[in-house]
Amino acid sequence: MSEPLTTIPPVWKPKAEQTAETSSGRWRREIRRRPGFQIGLVLLGLLVAAAICAPLIAPYNPGTTNLKEKNQGPSSAHPWGTDYLGRDLFSRTLYGAQTSLLIAFMTVGIAFAVGTTVGCMAAYYGGIVDEGLSRCVDLFLAFPGIIFSLALLGLIGAGVLNMVLALALSQWATYARLMRGQVLSVKNMDYVLSARTGGLPDRLIMVRHLVPNAIMPVLILATLDIGHVILATAGLSFLGLGIPPGIPEWGAMIGAGKEFIRMAPLNVIVPGLAITGVVLLFNILGEGLREILDTREEQVIPL
Amino acid sequence: MIFMTTRTHFTCLLLFLLIAGTVIAGCTNTGTQAGTAVQNRTTTTQAALAGEEQPLKFGELWLITGFDPMNSGVFITEKAIVTEALIGADQDFKLIPNLATTWRRTSPVTWEIALRENVSFHNGQPMTASEVKFSLDRAARLNAQNRQFMDYDSSRVIDAHTIEITTSKPNPILPEALHYPNMAIIHPDSLDAAGNFTTPIGTGPMVFDSFDQQTRTFTVKRNPHWWGGPVQLPGMVMTGIPDSNARALAIEKGEVDFTVDVPMNEVQRLNDLPGVTVDTYLTPRVYRMVVNFQRPALQDKRVRQAISLAINRDDIVDHVLYNVGAPARGLYIPSMAWFNTSMQALPYDPEKAKALLAEAGYRDTNGDGIVEKDGRPFTIDLVSAQERPGLPPMSEAIGQYLKEIGIDARVEIMASAASTDRQKAMNYDLLMVPANIAMIPDPGYIIDTWFRTDGYANSGKYSNPTLDARIDDAKQTDDLKERYAKFNKIEADIYDEMISIPLADYGVTIAHKDTVTGYRFDPTAHDLRMDANMTLTG
């Protein structure tokens, strides 16, 4: 959430400072009213910290097999049990968080950056640029996202970066479409017109006036999308298309563990709960953020 | 604001309900579907047999897509037992008479085969040399693999029950090739006027009854006039269930009476269920790793031996295959007549493996646990298909074994179509293969196809003119004892050179209800051959 804001160049700062008082005040007030959102933020912090520090926290190497201790239940040596090759499920789940979060943040980051740029340019320049870019967006939106990712992964093979590429390519168009609509609604506002007559270059008009005033709904979409991307990653890995077996990943753990579901259900339950919990967390955060940022709440409800 | 927070909670609750709902719906759905399936099947079979003896319900391994023996012999000859090959094989892979009674090599390229008399097709016509010629001509013409197995050139009808087969080059194992299920004998009326294969009319203990394109259910019934004597089994209803977990559920819920290859970790649990028995047998199939000889690192014998020494085959058989299989001992399986009993199982010795790697120039110079040579870390691409349930976990375990001796193994598991592409493009270092080793019951079959320079299953592109010459010499040896001895010598050298890395013998599990008795396993078949003399009670 703070990531995309930092991409805005320093020229924008004076304006931000003007409203900083009231804006940050409103933020603090809104967050204080939402204990659920606060807990969510703390949990997110813990999750990210755990994922980053996985090598320090995890009691075992996630890849080390110990065939003789396969399919064990929880014990003091293995708090969440072991998988079908005797690997520690707690360590694997922890490293899995690293994989999932890395993919989710990278995918949403790329899709967000590309989508907003394209959407903003299409709306601002209009005419043939808009036609070209919008038809391109339509083309991508016409494919069902997951099928597109499936086909692409089948073509380029498994791997973390390939996964990011496949998911980002299927997602960016949504951001572009939304951004285009938002920019269209502000681009004829008086302050934009006066900036233009004042001779401000197009690039600066976009960066100073259009992006800051159009970005919020796209930002909310991005937050909500993180959970969606984690699910998609897990789904593709479950099908054996996403992440090679050497890297612990929740969907792949469920996919391989489902053969043992009756004899050793922990193989599936542990990564399953991890996915459910993390996706739920991001959905709650996204929802909370939407409520805080969306000033037109009442109009949104009927949807 | 309070309204909004309530909404957040409400959303969470809704999400939980949704997940719980999906899980419950998922469970009950499977239950009801399975229930309806059983009901449907019972009604059809009741209608079909109107209260007569019940047919055996067989859960096949693969979806039933075709039943023309020319290319689906494994199904129609071995599973449906509607058609039969000229020559059979015993439990130790020695040839025995079947539709042919005797065979004799009359010149280097001609064979005279005497056919069994008093054999009739399911349409009542007697089997004579002209139908045999028709079937073999057709099998060789339409399928290149059949043609290669037989080196088939032509055949000539000598009299009603004698046929002469001419091969394109001397082929001492033509009789062995005739055992292959694709070379089964059919009546020309199996084809319609346009020449399309429609109805399998064979000579086997089961007669084709129906095939439902929608459900891919294939039914057969007893042949009352089988030349082999009275047939016990009244008939079979066969459906392909490609997922091993689904097959386990089907036998557990009573949807099928007989099925094959249940998940290995469930063998014990299923066997403990009242009314169900699971037996494990060895089939002529081995798990092995093909070595890519275009990779310089793997051209070094010491590296290949180190890879083999890094793998604990006993632990893999015990804990990954759940004892459905056995550690490899040589290239063949113990039930084969040409099995070399002096072959030793491959040892597990990671220290020796590391020493061999060091000797070959691979040392861990930067302390990261991975060995390097000329400053470059030693990485290996281990590619595996995912279809046979033992392969993916075995590949993962082997990847870890290789890491332990300092090789950075990258395991890739994919659909078999994708792994075949990788194999054809030579884009792998090691390739996991569950290969059949007795498509033709002769020791030369795998040695010739896997290791000869132009062998069609020589996926690793191994080439050694000296070995080629030895294979050619052994292939042309007629005397069985001498032939086996020559091939065993070649086998020992291949084993020592680690031209391909054997892992384990493949086990097949047969799960059947206790109402099915008298099943006799045929180790020469692909996975299994159905037995017409099983009995079904109750």
Over residues A5-20, the pLDDT tens digits come to 445 444 444 444 444 4
Quick one: CA torsion of A118, A121, A123, A128, rounded to 10 degrees?
A: -100
What percent of chain A is modeled with pLDDT above 90?
A: 36
**Three-state secondary structure of B229-261:** CCCCCCEEEEEECCCHHHHHHHHHCCCCCEEEC
Residues of B in contact with A37 (CB under 8 A): 8
CA distance B276 to B265: 16
Torsion, Cα A90 A95 A100 A103, to 10 degrees, reads: 180
- pLDDT tens column, A181-232: 999 888 888 888 888 888 888 888 888 888 888 888 888 889 888 999 999 9
Interface-testing mutation among B1, B2, B5, B271, with chain A (most A C-beta atoms within 10 A): B5
CB contact under 8 A, B1 and A33: yes
> A7-20 b/e with 16+ CB inside 10 Å = b?
eeeeebeeeeeeee
Residues A72-97: pLDDT tens digits?
889 988 999 999 999 999 999 999 99
Q: Count of CB contacts below 8 A, A vs B?
A: 91
Q: What is the distance between the alpha carbons of residues B74 and B529, in angstroms, rounded to a whole number?
A: 9
How far A280 CA lies from chain B's nearest CA (Å)? 8
CB-count burial class (<10 Å; 0-12, 13-18, 19+) for B29: exposed
Q: Does A43 touch chain B (CB under 8 A)?
A: no
Q: DSSP E strands: which ranges in B134-261?
A: 152-159, 162-167, 206-212, 217-222, 235-240, 258-260
Query: Which of A259, A269, A297 is best to mutate for the B interface (most B CBs within 10 A)?
Result: A259
pLDDT tens sequence for chain B (538 residues): 444 455 556 555 655 665 665 555 444 443 333 333 444 444 444 444 445 688 999 999 889 989 999 999 999 999 999 999 999 999 888 999 999 999 999 999 999 999 999 999 999 999 999 999 999 999 999 998 899 889 999 999 999 999 999 999 898 899 999 999 999 999 999 999 999 999 999 999 999 999 998 999 999 999 999 999 999 999 999 999 988 889 999 999 999 999 999 989 999 999 999 999 999 998 889 999 999 999 999 999 999 999 999 999 999 999 999 999 999 999 999 989 999 988 889 999 999 999 999 999 999 988 888 999 988 999 999 999 887 888 989 999 999 999 999 999 999 888 888 888 899 999 999 999 988 898 888 999 899 889 999 888 899 999 999 999 999 999 888 888 999 999 999 999 999 999 999 999 999 999 999 999 999 999 888 889 999 999 988 6
Contacts of residue B316 in chain A, CB cutoff 8 Å?
A: 67
Neighbours of B482 (CB within 10 A): 11
Contact B413 A67 (CB under 8 A): no
* Identity of the residue in A37, A246, A283 whose CB atom sits nearest the CB atom of B399: A246
B416-422: Cβ within 8 A, 24+ apart = B416/B385, B416/B386, B416/B387, B418/A154, B419/B383, B419/B384, B419/B385, B420/B385, B422/B383
Q: Using a CB-CB distance cutoff of 8 angstroms, which residues of chain B are in contact with residue A262? A: 266, 269
Distance from CA of A128 to the nearest CA of B (A): 42
Q: What is the pLDDT of residue A16?
A: 44
* Higher pLDDT, residue A241 or B58: B58
Distance in angstroms (rounded) separating the CA atoms of residues B462 and B366:
34
pLDDT at B123: 94
C-alpha span between A121 and A170 (Å, rounded): 20
Task: A48-52: list long-range contacts, CB under 8 Å, 24+ apart.
Answer: A48/A101, A50/A94, A50/A97, A51/A94, A51/A97, A51/A98, A51/A101, A51/A102, A52/A98
Helices A266-293 & A13-32 angle (0-180, nearest 10): 120
Tokens read off for B45: 């079979």
**Looking at the complex, does the CB of residue A246 fall below 8 Å from at least one CB of chain B?**
yes
Q: What is the DSSP string of B51-73?
A: TSPPPEEEEESS------HHHHH
- Mean pLDDT of all residues in chain A? 84
Whole-angstrom distance, CA of residue B273 vs CA of residue A165: 48
Nearest-CA residue of chain B relative to A258? B245
pLDDT in tens, B180-220: 999 999 999 999 999 999 999 999 999 999 999 899 999 99
Q: Which residue of A has its CA nearest to B388?
A: A259
Give yes or no for A33 touching B (CB within 8 A): yes
DSSP codes joined into one string, A281-299: HHHHHHHHHHHHH-TTHHH
- According to the model, what pLDDT value does residue A114 have? 95
Are the C-beta atoms of residues B262 and B511 closer than 8 Å to each other? yes
B245, B397, B410 ranked by CB distance to A244: nearest: B410
Note the pTM of the prediction, 2 decimals: 0.79
| Cβ within 8 Å, pair B397-A244 | no
DSSP for A89-158 reads: HHHHHHHHHHHHHHHHHHHHHHHHHHHHHHHHHHHHH-HHHHHHHHHHHHHHHHS-HHHHHHHHHHHH-S
pLDDT confidence band for A263 (50 / 70 / 90): confident
Find out whether A170 and A143 touch, Cβ atoms under 8 Å.
Answer: yes
Return the pLDDT at B426. Answer: 94
Q: Taking an 8 Å Cβ-Cβ cutoff, which residues of chain B contact chain A?
A: 1, 4-5, 7-9, 11-12, 15, 19, 244-245, 263, 265-266, 269, 312, 315-316, 318-320, 386, 389, 392-393, 395-397, 399-400, 403, 409-415, 418
- Percent of chain A scoring above 70 in pLDDT: 89
Strand B430-436 relative to strand B379-385: parallel, antiparallel, unpaired?
Answer: parallel
CA distance A90 to chain B (A): 18
B442 Cβ contact partners less than 8 Å away, ≥ 6 residues apart: B173, B176
* DSSP state at residue A239: T
The pLDDT value recorded for residue B157 is: 95
Over residues B315-332, the pLDDT tens digits come to 999 999 999 999 999 999
Instruction: Give yes or no for residue A294 having a pLDDT over 90.
Output: no
β-bridge partners, B507: B282
The mean pLDDT of A41-48, rounded to a whole number, is 93
Cα atoms found within 13 Å of the Cα of residue B533, Cβ hemisphere only: 8
Contact check, Cβ <8 Å, A246/B411:
yes
List CB contacts of A190: < 8 A, sequence separation 6 or more: none
ipTM topping 0.90? no
Give A-chain residues touching B412 at CB under 8 angstroms. 157-158, 244-245
User: B5 and A276 in contact by Cβ < 8 A?
Assistant: no
CB B531 within 8 A of CB B519: yes
pLDDT at A196: 85
Suggest the residue from A26, A37, A262, A269 to mutate for an interface test with chain B (most B CBs closer than 10 A). Answer: A262
Q: What's the maximum distance between 2 C-alpha atoms anywhere in chain A?
A: 76
